Amino acid sequence: MNASVNSLHWFRKGLRLHDNPSLRLAIDGSSTFRAVFFLDVDSLNEINISRTKWRFLLDCLLDLDSSLRKLNSRLFIVRGQPIDVFPKLIKQWNITRVTFEYDGEPFPQRRDDSVKRLLESEGVEVLVSTSHTLYDIEKIVELNHGNVPVTFKQFECLISKLRSPNSCVPDVNQDLFVNCKTPVENNHDKIYGVPEYSALDLDEEEHERGEWVGGEDEALRRLGLLEKEVAEPKTDTQQEKNSPFPKSSKLSPYLRFGCLSVKYLFHRMNQIYKEVHGKPAPLSVHLPLLWREFFFVVASKHPNFDKMKNNSLCLQFPWEEHADQLEQFKQGKTGFPWIDAIMRQLLSEGWIPHLARQAVGCFLTRGALWITWEEGFKIFEKFLLDAEWSINAGSWMWLSCSAFFAKHSQWMCPVGLGEHLDPQGSYVRKYVPELKDFPADYIYKPWKAPIEVQKTAHCIVGADYPQPIIDHQEARRECVDKLRAVYQNLVSKVSSNVGLGHNAMHWFRKDLRLHDNPSLCEALTNCRTFHAVYILDPVSARAANVSANRWKFLLDCLTDLDKTDICVTKLFQEWNISKLTFECEIEPFGQRRDVAVAVLGEEHGVEVISKPSHTLYDPEKIIDSNDGEAPLLIKTFENVVRQMGPPEKPVDAVNKSMFKGCICPVSSDHSTKFAVPHLDELGFQEEDVTSGELWVGGEQEAIKRLTELEEKVLVGNLKKSVEGLDALRPSRTQLSPYLRFGCLSPRLFHMRLTKAYMKVKCQPPPLSLYRQLVWREFFFTLASRNPHMDKAVDNPLSLNIPWEENEKALDAWKKVRV
């Protein structure tokens, strides 16, 4: 032991003796030890903290002091700001070592850096340990190449590379104090004692003391109850039965003040689940802790995390100021009993369930009042016992759909949600006693109660209880319109910081499907915003050499896909596109066009990615396998593909999970600007279409026909009837138009046909089964290196036959009059 070590541990959030590494560092090897908590009692009303929160903090400090007393030590409450008081303490107590818990939030970081510089300039050793989070925040950022993960999905990927959180350090106990003492004067309580709650000079109205008692002892008692509940589930108590909200451990205030170690909670849950179920706790148990961790990590590098402006993570909403409505919301006097009950519980008790937070968060911001989430942040910061700067700000951005949301959170009706969760209104009757005698039919909408009912309930709406401050249904519609306007301009407003993902656009051409579409999947990889585009020039449609039947089939395909028709070039800037994907083109004209688009993308800083999926094989690989030349004979081609083996398996179909973390901005005028056009807009009439219902375009129809073909294979009925008119009619399983427009992937066609054949024959099918696909593949490969494939002249594959010109005969043939 070094007799000259006089240590001081600076308590901030970690108000406990268990799993407190920085506290152990202060005691271990020291001759004297003092535990200090700084409290500026002269500025209490300037700090945005409610009476309930002050009472909880004092409970925590009293409990900590009591625990230290058992170890022959004490807690020193020092009045003033650390930066001002530390120089005096260093000299007065001859301090040589100071320890404290790491705080990753921006303001505490700046404060701690200043204090650390001051202490080190005085020759004081400063030791800092991480214990308020599961992981070391800086290590997570370092693992992400110096950037914070800005989506929860990214965060999950990062921590999956890390080991389980470190084990807890041993509790501080008497053994640690064997060679260390705490000098305590007789007037300690007077100078350094925890102040009495009644002595605090606070302006706020007093509330009755609720169920919340601060301190490590209470935190561990509640954790013990949770462990017992996990190990031996029991029937809900009467209080829990009366609550309209899901059961909660109610440990969050103790995590916020550090009365309970988050790592201790994490490992205890794993231990209990192993003992009971034989395996660690599932992710759902740890999910709230991981979201807590995520917000701490993200906020650590964003000093304006609690603001909308200058916050690169937050969408810039045109929130409105409604001072009167905001004040009524704060007081729980909105005229909506469900909202008022929640706010009054918050004001009086300092805690509300998670679902209640969502309800009032939706009401204040995107669901009714359209008031900035920053106001909600301030209210929670003041009254909510578990409000921490990072978690509070992150949660409000999520609640208001300003950041961190993978999809739009549902609207929480200020009337309907309460009716659904608590039909009898017990919760409202408890916290809004004016309405306790209202019948259940009107408890959530008292303004609709007849005046006789109001008189009987001794509560007249408009006198004893306020009228609703808004028409909630109309307010909802207005909020939806405002949200739509924000998302219409979303792409140009989101930050371009590293890690936010791409603003991606997929250009549909021949791949009009969601299954086996690798380039579409690529667009959705690390995607922030996504646009699916089909380019169509309705003005030139009539002039194009395409029939009405073919136009109708294409429009069916687009309707089935429901995508847009717009010009690529202007969208790079208008939508701030950073990644463009499309199916790799095989034919020469398409190849030249794609090269031009790639150059255009490079000029605009757009990453351009194309992948093959219109053929079974990549034609370039077939040519490489044939010594760099396209096979000129079908037999040669068949030999090459046999040597290459079966085609690659189709990629997974695009599904909802791929859109997690991705926004698809849709403007209010989408149907007029970007909808699939009608035939008459292309210059055709319905009567111009002669194919009837025989050919219906689209992926759904293609898959339906493929399934019918599979069934034919399974029953061994692949031969088509050649009797009568049926011999001239296309089969219901004819799939070539769907392959042409990309409604059906040839790889999916090949795979499902193969599986059906093997199920019947128990052996791989012969190449002849795929004759249509083989010839199709052969022609595509030939055409990929022959720009004159559609000409007789200058076409090395075509014999120079002396064809004759006969306009009259040609015209008759075209008009079906030969």
- The one-letter code for the residue type at 292 is R
CA distances from 492 to 526, 529, 537, 577, 614 (A): 18, 10, 26, 9, 33
Nearest to 747 by CA among 644, 646, 655, 654: 646
The reply, when asked if residue 248 is annotated as ligand binding, is: yes
Phi first, then psi, for residue 127 (nearest 5°) are -120, 130
Torsion over CA: 338, 342, 343, 344 (sign): positive
Alpha carbon 289 to its chain's center: 16
CA distances from 203 to 206, 214, 696, 735 (A): 9, 22, 73, 78
Distance CA 697, CA 675 (A): 17
Strand partners, 36: 10, 76
How many Å apart are CA 306 and CA 314, to the nearest integer?
10
The one-letter code for the residue type at 35 is A
249 annotated among ligand-binding-site residues: yes
Task: Read off the amino acid at residue 354.
Answer: H
Question: Which of 390, 294, 341, 321 minimizes the C-alpha distance to 13?
Answer: 390
In the chain, the amino acid numbered 630 is: A
Q: How many residues are present in the chain?
A: 818
| Assigned token pair, 790 | 């559609």
Q: Which amino acid belongs to residue 809?
A: A
State whether residue 809 is helix, strand or coil: helix
CA-to-CA distance for 241 and 247, rounded, in angstroms?
A: 9
In the sheet where 564-565 sits, what is the strand order?
564-565, 527-534, 502-508, 579-583, 607-611
DSSP state letters, 66-121:
HHHHTTT--EEEEES-HHHHHHHHHHHHT--EEEEE---SHHHHHHHHHHHHHHHH
- Which helix (H) or strand (E) segment holds residue 719: the answer is none
CB 660 within 8 A of CB 154: no
Could you give the CA distance from residue 165 to residue 524 in angstroms, rounded to a whole number? 32
- To the nearest 10°, report the CA torsion of 554, 557, 558, 559: 120
Strands 97-101, 6-11: pairing kind: parallel
Name the token pair of 91.
């000299």
Query: Can you read off the two tokens belonging to residue 7?
Result: 């240590």
Strands 125-129 and 502-508, how do they pair? unpaired
- Per-residue CA distances from 54 to 59, 802, 807 (Å): 9, 100, 97
Give the span between the Cα atoms of 481 and 320, in whole angstroms. Answer: 14
Rounded CA-CA distance 172/803 in Å is 100
Contact by Cβ (8 Å): 429, 443:
yes
- Would the annotation count 346 as a binding residue? no
Beta strands 97-101 and 125-129 are parallel
Instruction: Give the 3-state secondary structure of residue 325.
Output: helix
Three-state secondary-structure class, residue 531: strand
Neighbours of 591 (CB within 10 A): 14
Chain centroid to CA 528: how far?
Answer: 10
Question: Are 393 and 306 contacting, i.e. CB atoms less than 8 angstroms apart?
Answer: yes
> DSSP readout, 361-386?
HHHHTTTTT---HHHHHHHHHHH-TT
In the chain, what is the greatest distance between 2 CA atoms, to the nearest angstrom? Answer: 122
613 is in an annotated binding site: no
List the one residue out of 544, 305, 520 whose CA is nearest residue 403.
305
| Residues in the annotated binding site for FAD | 248-252
| Residues in the annotated binding site | 248-252
